[in-house]
Structure 1
Amino acid sequence: MADDFSVIDSHIHLYPENEIPTLAWATTENPLAKQHSVYDYKIASAHAPVEGFIFVETDRKHDLEAGAKDGSGWEYPLMEVSWLRRIVLGQPKPGEGHGPEDAGLCSAYIPWAPVPSGAAVMEKYLAKAEEAAGDSWDKVRGFRYLLQDKPDGTALGDGFIESLKLLGRKGYVFDVGVNQHDRGRIQLEETAEMIDKAHDGVPDEEKVVFILNHLCKPDLTVTNIHTDTSFIAWRTAMFTLSKCSSTYMKLSGLFSEMDDWLKKRPVEDIFDAIMPWLSVVLAAFGPSRIMFGSDWPVCTVGVDGAWGKWRSIVDRLCYMASLGEDDMKMILSGTALEAYGIKKERRSEFEFVY
């Protein structure tokens, strides 16, 4: 049974209470604006075997212009790298909610990076990030710069593409956070163009790996998938993106795109409602290019027992698709290990074997 297989959770967020003011989105009204620790995550996922997790940056405040000039705009993202260093090395500060026994749980982490600023600035940032990471640096498998709230065209700028090519040469992946639900089809179209530009003229072994987050945040409020232009555009984009080389998709983040009434329904009802989106992604990417991700703790907003419910939904997808054990294991852990280059030896100081 799929629920017996261990998981590499490919998408979680963590932050200590004393660093919440550094988060760009953390208002006093936000239900997520409280400490979310490794201990908290272990409780949330306790009913299922979790082999490890991949931490993804939590949108810390930053200043691109100041960062490019003298590095001062990178203070809070680098603070986050130091936070992950303490988790990975098992060296917590009092009250942070993790201990030495948790050091092995972080399979990899994906910090923020000033991707729009170009390769020269990225080189400076990587040196600063490596210093902040210390002995945990080998757990850094890639970087993210959230695109979902950025102006149209951001991902197509010369500096952005230059930085992506740099990441590819160094063997790092790029996590792609876009939002079709709120921003429309242009984010999907620009994502495909971004990938093409970043891979143009680049040898296969140096092409940056792209990992698409949260099914690109589709609009789950659609009532008629046969005629709705939003769904048709999203479905077309999924098959287009699946044809891009070195590109993977996370099965994650869909609770955030649901109506509140659906979040409160039984797992079976939720699965039936979102099956059209799940089936498209499975058909487009296949089990070897999709990976389980809980999006904890974001998934908990308005959803009781969210981690377990999402695991049940993914298990149900595997069952309904009549997947064999090997395919189930790829979705639950194997794809993440492969895409992020986890548990493999480095080729050189900056590169991983994929």
Structure 2
Amino acid sequence: MRIDAHHHLWDLARRDQPWMDGPWADPIRRSYALGDLIPHLTAHRLDGTVLVQSSSSYDETTDLLALVAGDGPVRGVVGWADLTDPGLADVLAALPRGLVGIRHQVQDEPDPDWLTRPEVLRGLGVLADAGLVYDLLVTPRELPAAQAAVHAVPGLSFVLDHAAKPEVARGAWQPWADRVTALARHPNVSCKLSGLVTEADWSAWRPGRILPYARHILDVFGPGRVLFGSDWPVCTLAAAYDDVLALAESATGGLTEAERAAVFGGTAGRVYGIGAPHGRWARPRPPR
């Protein structure tokens, strides 16, 4: 089972995406539907995807969950919820089927210790009780708080998105490397091999600048806790879907077949509880 564990869809006619806050976002300032992604999945024989929230909206989460129904490629949704809501358990219980995790744009919070606030830790405990995963969208600045939260809620599975966004364009290695290594010591944390191209120089990146970061993630987490994610269509600011997948394949080139299978699907299946494809999408994909 080959899984793209991280992609986005949005409809700008239905809601704004506040993070598109400047001209830098103009190349992707349009709506993206599932039909825009499917050709990429088919071309690369991917069996399914995990669809991830892009705005702090229950309405968006509900719209995304509607795509889990039927025999399409969306195997689960990482949606948004207000972790500080005392009624969070009831809110989660009322959402449609297909929710596998929750994410919040922690990187945008002014407080670098937001994840350690008592009301947030309480919400993370609710996610653990509900059997959901929490996706960590953080930068190196928030990694210490992320580690504290992971330690405080050991019963919750965490997934680190985009390898915590190292500053690839500047060639910065520390404190990112040590902080990611410390986080990886917690067995309830996995990491997405995703989002690195958009942390590099969009117009002049080369694999040699990005691969050390990818390989560090593989070294400290181990292939059994690493998930491939395209971060499409955000990745297209710097690279095509084909290029992102090729970069991940290069980073994992020295692994065994079983280890590569974990990175490209097995880990996502285990962490998010994603089952085998079914219906039309379960039919063999065309050869490359």
TM-score (structure 1 length as normaliser): 0.73
1:330 maps to which of 253, 262, 265 = 262
2:31 aligns to what SS in structure 1? coil
**1:280-291 → structure 2 map (5 Å cutoff):** 280-291=216-227
> What are the superposed Cα offsets for residues 113-139 of structure 1, whole Å, 9 maximum, x if unpaired?
101x15x231232244x2xx2xxx1x1
Residue aligning to 1:57: 53
Runs of 4+ in 1 over 6 A off after TM superposition: none
CA distance in 1, matches of 2:10, 2:211: 32
Q: Structure 1 regions of 5+ residues with no counterpart?
A: 1-5, 61-76, 91-102, 181-185, 200-206, 224-229, 264-269, 345-354
Shift of residue 17 of structure 1? 4.0
Residue aligning to 2:82: 114
Residue aligning to 1:86: 66
Question: Percent identity of the aligned residues?
Answer: 25
> What are the superposed Cα offsets for residues 263-309 of structure 1, whole Å, 9 maximum, x if unpaired?
4xxxxxx2211122112111101110001000000000143xx2111
Q: Structure 2 regions of 5+ residues with no counterpart?
A: 277-288
CA distance in 2, matches of 1:153, 1:327: 34
CA distance in 2, matches of 1:300, 1:20: 21
Residue identity opposite 1:233 in structure 2: P
Shift of residue 188 of structure 1? 1.2
2:51 aligns to what SS in structure 1? strand
Residue aligning to 1:143: 102
Contact 2:2 2:47 in 1 (8 A): yes
Residue identity opposite 1:149 in structure 2: D
CA distance in 2, matches of 1:11, 1:192: 22
> What are the superposed Cα offsets for residues 12-70 of structure 1, whole Å, 9 maximum, x if unpaired?
0012242243x22245843222110111112344431110000111124xxxxxxxxxx
**1:37-186 → structure 2 map (5 Å cutoff):** 37-60=33-56, 77-90=57-70, 103-115=71-83, 117-118=84-85, 120-128=86-94, 130=95, 133=96, 137=97, 139-150=98-109, 151-180=111-140, 186=141
Specify the structure having the higher radius of gyration (Cα): 1
Contact 1:10 1:293 in 2 (8 A): yes
Higher percent of residues as helix? 1
Residue aligning to 1:13: 8
Contact 1:20 1:26 in 2 (8 A): no
Contact 1:45 1:307 in 2 (8 A): no
1:18 aligns to what SS in structure 2? coil
CA distance in 1, matches of 2:195, 2:238: 13
Which fold has the larger relative contact order, with Cα–Cα distance below 8 Å and residues 6 or more apart in sequence?
A: 2
Residue identity opposite 1:314 in structure 2: A
Shift of residue 260 of structure 1? 2.8
Contact 2:65 2:99 in 1 (8 A): no
Contact 1:12 1:297 in 2 (8 A): yes
1:143 aligns to what SS in structure 2? strand
2:277 is the counterpart of 1:341: no
CA distance in 2, matches of 1:330, 1:105: 19
